[in-house]
Amino acid sequence: MNLDLVDVFCKGPLSGNPLGVVHGGGHLSAEQMLALTRWLGFSETTFLLPPSDPAADYRVRIFYPAGELPFAGHPTLGSAHAWLAAGGVPKQAGKIVQECGAGLVEVRQDGERLAFRAPPLIRSGPLSEAELAEALRVSGADPASVVEAVHVANGPNWCLLRLASDADVLAARPAARAPVGTDIGIAGPCAAGAGADWELRTFFANGRGQVVEDPVTGSFNAGVAMHLFASGLASGSYVAAQGRKTGADGEVFCSAEADGSVWIGGKVAMVSAQGKLAG
């Protein structure tokens, strides 16, 4: 059983969201996978397994400190990178098909980046008054800066507060605690010269109910991109920045294509490969 440490959505060395990828852990129970995830302390840890769907190249189980996720973005790109680095060869050149709890997710090699096809939203529409109040409490965003409050769930149950500016996003002061299962994100357009088009931050509750800010979040970026492109707030492509308040410097490339698909991409780097794990 081996462990890779991977940096996802990185802009420079050690600037993205770290991910642990376990090879050869098929004998582990869900409880053991969760325990290892909590011990490593990353936002997520994934476990690469043989596919059960003949259309897939590999299967992945994705865990975060509060349980298992059907889909997550940075684990998707990081797992694909680790699978390729370990000698994986996709059935179709240039197209990797990942099997996860949400079904099949397509990943493509896009120059020096990897990109995944954003899965469809499983919940959209405006937040209720109670949901908006809780999203404001957890994120610490200024209510006066909120332009829109909507669901952008695609596996994780993301709630999006669209704020007036990137300055409003960076000024938010999140709460210390929230119920397990909380997934709140905020996004705002960047000022000219910021080096990105949108600034994002995300907050989730770990297994102890503590609010954690994620360095860079692929699933939330996917949900935001689906919403922005569908509502005409973005077109073609844009770059999102995330992680500045955590010490990261994440860079996410979002694009909409003529067939209606939305792609979320970024650079992925191997930090440590094939470290041996006991058990």
Helices within the chain (DSSP H only) = 30-40, 73-85, 129-139, 166-171, 218-230
- pLDDT tens digit string along 196-243? 999 999 999 998 999 999 999 999 999 999 999 999 999 999 999 999
Please say if 44 is a catalytic residue.
yes
Res. 111: pLDDT tops 90 = no
Query: d(Cα 145, Cα 64) in Å, to the nearest integer?
Result: 30
Query: d(Cα 112, Cα 199) in Å, to the nearest integer?
Result: 23
Q: Is the dihedral of CA 245, 164, 144, 158 positive or negative?
A: negative
The residue-averaged pLDDT of 12-25 equals 97
Residues 109 and 28 in one domain: yes
Residues 108 and 184 in one domain: no
Rounded to the nearest integer, the mean pLDDT of the chain is 96
Residues whose CB falls within 8 Å of the CB of residue 231, separated by 6 or more in sequence, listed in order: none
In a domain, 120, yes or no: no
- pLDDT tens digit string along 46-82? 999 999 999 999 999 999 999 999 999 999 999 999 9
How many structural domains is the chain composed of? 2
- Given a contact cutoff of 8 angstroms between Cβ atoms, the answer to whether 96 and 60 are in contact is no
In a domain, 121, yes or no: no
Residues 139 and 252 in one domain: yes
Residues 247 and 168 in one domain: yes
- Given a contact cutoff of 8 angstroms between Cβ atoms, the answer to whether 244 and 252 are in contact is no
In a domain, 124, yes or no: no
Residues 173 and 211 in one domain: yes
In a domain, 206, yes or no: yes
What the block records as the tokens of 156 is 């994780």
Residues 155 and 216 in one domain: yes
Res. 274: pLDDT tops 90 = no
247: left (phi over 0), alpha (psi -120 to 50) or beta: left
- pLDDT tens digit string along 151-162? 999 999 999 999
pTM recorded for the entire structure? 0.95
Residues 231 and 133 in one domain: yes
CATH code for the domain in which residue 191 is found: 3.10.310.10
- At 278 the pLDDT is 76
Residues 246 and 221 in one domain: yes
Residues 87 and 140 in one domain: no
- At 158 the pLDDT is 97
- Given a contact cutoff of 8 angstroms between Cβ atoms, the answer to whether 252 and 240 are in contact is yes
Residues 148 and 259 in one domain: yes
Residues 241 and 136 in one domain: yes
- Given a contact cutoff of 8 angstroms between Cβ atoms, the answer to whether 221 and 263 are in contact is no
Q: Which domain holds residue 103?
A: 2-115+267-276
In a domain, 123, yes or no: no
